[in-house]
């Protein structure tokens, strides 16, 4: 016998199994619903491969998506399985913190996959649990019950963003009236963290655009939707008022398999849509140290004044990698020190481009500037050297970027001006040369069953060699405001 299951998830598992037994052409089937988001190969079906990422329709589109999915599952439970008629989709609150301590055993447990997703068996001990996915469909470490670490899920920056629209803001970039499937560099703070990093942590199917084939996808997106509702509890936070956003119609299928449409304006009040969340105050982030800066997405800065340094392809893996940057011969020697001086308006921007992998690496990566990889204290994600994360959601194999983008990889931009200033203050950089960039796999939380003494113990993730995670190029530039 396995541990007791949550009743909502038990009915969910039964419905998943029933939906998986339907043909892909049935709009209420498991595969049809997943294909709306993305497929594992090219498709001519106009209803498939429609998920928008890196744009301001990310949140309303996914709200309508999980709303219709929830209706279909409820219909299956009630009418096909003779179950309750009030079933509701649970949310996976991996952002929950107990007693203000993100390292407590209770907090760590929230950042593991729920127990219902960790065993191949049903509660009665019989196999074929549809919520369980083994490797390579789910990352080995996540499937073993390791937890993602708090720095990878803390939604504080997103929840404090004052505006909805913009790559440094809450809800991603303005894409006018276009439903862009993947706008490189357009992800806002919530989409970057925790959304993309959870996809990377679970790995496997969840690392790719057909991620809804993993049953945990829907619980993950229910929590992202909850964080949107929580962000709006601040009276200073508002959704876009642009008619291009409000009037755009999102098309899905309902429980009867019929096409239905929702404008973004139709989706603004979750209670009017017939649901509400248990809590909009729990699991909304903890304030990180002031010295941490938010990651900026591509396109967030003016054109560069000077390309200071570059490097070519760099392979990543299960160990820390130091990326040596070569100074550009044409760059002014004073460009970088000027950018790190509080007396000048210049900014130093680190670009990391063509981030991709052949198969899901099952990990996210932390990026540092000026850190010593053999000094554990330098690799503290709340320390002065940390600048942000890399993930691989949408950059895996030929499926990257919905096929038509050719798997060229993702691009990331980090404003490292404050870090360079801090390095000079600490005496770790004298303004000469280029501080090294260090990329390391994000460690995982303690294994299941670890006692209180292991509350801060971490393990390094397993990165399959065939994954070949890599960076195409790194460049350091300075810009003028």
- Show me where the domains of the chain are located: 7-267, 304-479
Q: Would you place residue 146 in the very low, low, confident or very high pLDDT band (cuts 50, 70, 90)? A: very high
CB of 57 within 8 A of CB of 182? no
Q: Would you place residue 166 in the very low, low, confident or very high pLDDT band (cuts 50, 70, 90)? A: confident
Q: Residue 177 above 80 pLDDT?
A: no
Q: How much is the pLDDT for 214?
A: 98
Pick the CATH number of 7-267 from 1.10.1280.10, 2.60.40.1580, 1.10.579.10, 3.40.50.970: 1.10.1280.10
Residue 381: DSSP 8-state: T
CB of 357 within 8 A of CB of 200? no
Mean pLDDT of the chain: 88
Q: Residue 425 above 50 pLDDT?
A: yes
Q: Would you place residue 173 in the very low, low, confident or very high pLDDT band (cuts 50, 70, 90)? A: confident
Residue 22: DSSP 8-state: S
Q: How much is the pLDDT for 1?
A: 41
Q: Would you place residue 450 in the very low, low, confident or very high pLDDT band (cuts 50, 70, 90)? A: low
Q: Would you place residue 327 in the very low, low, confident or very high pLDDT band (cuts 50, 70, 90)? A: confident
Structure tokens that stand for 167 in this block? 């790559």
Q: How much is the pLDDT for 268?
A: 97
Q: How much is the pLDDT for 241?
A: 95
Burial of 98 per CB tally in 10 Å (0-12, 13-18, 19+): middle
pTM of the model: 0.90
Report how far residue 142's alpha carbon sits from residue 363's, in angstroms, rounded to the nearest whole number. 9
pLDDT tens digits, residue range 178-194? 776 666 567 889 999 99
Report how far residue 470's alpha carbon sits from residue 401's, in angstroms, rounded to the nearest whole number. 16
Q: Residue 297 above 50 pLDDT?
A: no
Burial of 126 per CB tally in 10 Å (0-12, 13-18, 19+): exposed
Q: Residue 149 above 70 pLDDT?
A: yes
Q: Would you place residue 413 in the very low, low, confident or very high pLDDT band (cuts 50, 70, 90)? A: confident
Q: Would you place residue 307 in the very low, low, confident or very high pLDDT band (cuts 50, 70, 90)? A: confident
pLDDT tens digits, residue range 37-69? 999 877 889 999 999 988 899 999 999 999 999
Provide the β-strand partners of residue 250. 262
Report how far residue 34's alpha carbon sits from residue 14's, in angstroms, rounded to the nearest whole number. 17
CB of 300 within 8 A of CB of 413? yes
Report how far residue 38's alpha carbon sits from residue 253's, in angstroms, rounded to the nearest whole number. 15
């Amino acid at each position: 016998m396995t541990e007791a299951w949550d009743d909502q998830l038990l009915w969910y598992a039964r419905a998943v199994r029933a939906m998986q037994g339907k043909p892909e052409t049935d709009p209420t089937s498991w595969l049809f619903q997943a294909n709306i988001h993305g497929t594992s190969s090219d498709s001519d079906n106009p209803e498939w491969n429609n998920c928008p990422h890196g744009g301001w329709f990310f949140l309303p589109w996914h709200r309508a998506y999980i709303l219709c999915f929830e209706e279909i599952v409820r219909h299956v439970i009630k009418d096909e399985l003779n179950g309750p008629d009030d079933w509701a989709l649970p949310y996976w609150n991996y952002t929950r913190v107990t007693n203000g301590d993100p390292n407590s055993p209770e907090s760590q447990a929230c950042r593991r996959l729920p127990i219902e997703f960790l065993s191949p068996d049903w509660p009665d001990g019989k196999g074929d649990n549809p919520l369980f996915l083994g490797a390579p469909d789910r990352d080995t470490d996540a499937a073993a019950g390791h937890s993602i670490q708090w720095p990878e899920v803390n939604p504080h920056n997103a929840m404090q963003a004052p505006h909805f629209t913009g790559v440094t803001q809450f809800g991603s970039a303005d894409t006018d009236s276009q439903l862009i499937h993947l706008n490189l560099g357009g992800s806002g703070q919530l989409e970057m963290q925790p959304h993309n990093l959870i996809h990377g942590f679970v790995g496997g199917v969840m690392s790719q655009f057909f991620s809804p084939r993993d049953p945990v996808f829907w619980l993950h997106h229910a929590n992202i939707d909850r964080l949107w509702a929580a962000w709006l509890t601040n009276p200073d936070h508002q959704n876009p008022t642009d008619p291009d956003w409000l009037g755009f119609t999102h098309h899905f299928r309902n429980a009867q398999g019929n096409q239905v449409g929702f404008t973004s304006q139709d989706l603004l009040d979750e209670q009017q849509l017939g649901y509400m969340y248990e809590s909009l105050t729990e699991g909304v982030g903890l304030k990180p140290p002031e010295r941490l800066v938010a990651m900026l997405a591509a396109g967030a800065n003016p054109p560069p004044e000077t390309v200071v340094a570059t490097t070519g392809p760099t392979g990543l893996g299960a160990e820390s990698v130091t990326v040596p940057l070569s100074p550009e011969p044409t760059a002014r020697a004073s460009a970088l020190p000027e950018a790190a001086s509080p007396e000048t308006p210049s900014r130093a921007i680190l670009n990391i481009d063509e981030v991709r992998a052949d198969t899901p690496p099952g990990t996210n990566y932390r990026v540092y500037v000026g850190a010593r990889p053999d000094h554990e204290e330098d690799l503290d994600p709340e320390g002065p050297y940390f600048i942000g994360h890399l993930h691989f959601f949408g950059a895996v194999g030929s499926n990257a970027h919905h096929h038509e983008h050719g798997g060229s990889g993702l691009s990331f931009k980090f404003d490292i001006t404050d870090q360079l200033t801090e390095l000079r203050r600490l005496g770790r950089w004298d303004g000469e040369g280029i501080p090294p960039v260090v990329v390391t796999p994000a460690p995982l939380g303690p294994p299941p069953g670890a006692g209180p003494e292991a509350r801060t113990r971490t393990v390094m993730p397993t990165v399959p060699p065939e994954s070949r995670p890599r960076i195409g190029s790194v460049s350091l530039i300075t810009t003028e405001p």
